[in-house]
Structure 1
Amino acid sequence: MALMITDECINCDVCEPECPNGAISQGDEIYVIDPALCTECVGHYETSQCVEVCPVDCIPFNPDVEETRDELMEKYRRLTGETA
């Protein structure tokens, strides 16, 4: 699954620079995560960095975007140009 940011977001700006894929950006009211770019940090880190730094715990899994770890790794490879 990709991650999402809920409306509990306080716009603290700490998540955006932590995303290695550039999936987080400022939306109209709160930060948003582009599911096409979110790999949950698979391929980069052991844990999702945005979740680690979020002070209000507002970054859950996006139930509308279900992906396996293998699919996330494939997305990582596609985004970074890394070959298996």
Structure 2
Amino acid sequence: MKVTIDQDKCVGSGQCVMAAEDVFDQRDEDGIAVLLTDSPDPSVADDVRHAAAVCPALAITVED
């Protein structure tokens, strides 16, 4: 699994962090999402897919 974030699309809602806190975080200065890892452990795959689905800006891409 490979995860990317389009930070230009991100609106800083934090939904991804709530869904998969081991994979996503937010910058302190503006709340824009950042990846903690772009190849997360398979054990959190469902959480990562959920994060992508609930992102209001559709800024997260997940490739299997």
Hey, which of these two has a bigger chunk of helix by percent? 2
Higher strand share: 2
Task: Give 1 or 2 for the bigger CA radius of gyration.
Answer: 1
Aligned match for 2:37, one of 24, 35, 38: 35
Give the % identical residues: 20
- Greater relative contact order structure (CA < 8 Å, 6+ sep): 2
Where has structure 1 moved over 6 Å in runs of 4 or more? none
State the TM-score, normalized to the length of structure 2.
Answer: 0.66
Query: Cα 1:11–1:47, aligned 2, differ >3 Å: closer, same or farther?
Result: closer
Cα RMSD over matched residues?
2.8
Query: Which segments of 5 or more consecutive residues in structure 2 lack a partner in the other structure?
Result: none
Structure 1: gaps spanning 5 or more residues: 63-68, 70-84
Aligned length: 60
Q: TM-score, normalised by structure 1?
A: 0.54
Partner of 1:72: none
Q: Find the counterpart in structure 1 of residue 56 from structure 2.
A: 55
